[in-house]
Amino acid sequence: MTKKKEICQYELLCLLNDKENKQEKYDKMIKDMEKLIGKENILKIEEKPWKPVYQISGLINGSYLLIVLRLVRTKAKELEKEILNISPKDFLNRYFLLNLEDEPRNKIKLNKLKKEDAQ
């Protein structure tokens, strides 16, 4: 049995509602993350404006926020419990936290069609 790596790299993808009018909530979320996991463990923060093809929970305009983190697995659970799950839904529409160490197991495997199935 292989031992799981203690410190892992994570990607946190957030869909933010109307960041321009909620700058104080954005700043608070980032500061809370820095306090919980340490500023040195936030490797990258990248934000992109987003115009969805269809509405997601009534959202017409928003921003994607990608944060690359280095965390102990237990801190990732704390991050979700203490910051992400309690963030106001009028600011943080939804999020996805991905452990990149487990990423190969997360991939969806597509089955190839047999010749007879394709006809």
Which string of DSSP letters, residue by residue, matches 40-75? GGEEEEEEEEE--SS-BTTBSSEEEEEEEEEEEHHH
Of all residues in the chain, the percent with pLDDT exceeding 70 is 78
Q: What is the pLDDT of residue 29?
A: 92
Mean pLDDT across 71-88: 92
Mean pLDDT across 52-81: 85
Average pLDDT score over the chain: 80
Beta bridge partners of 67: 12, 45
Mean pLDDT across 14-30: 84
Mean pLDDT across 10-16: 92
Q: Is 3's pLDDT higher than 90?
A: no
Mean pLDDT across 80-94: 89
Mean pLDDT across 6-29: 86
Q: What is the pLDDT of residue 56?
A: 73
Question: In this structure, what are the phi and psi dihedrals at residue 108, rounded to the nearest 5 degrees?
Answer: -85, 130
Q: What is the CATH number of domain 7-118?
A: 3.30.70.60
Per-residue confidence band for 45, with pLDDT thresholds at 50, 70 and 90:
very high
Q: Is 34's pLDDT higher than 90?
A: yes
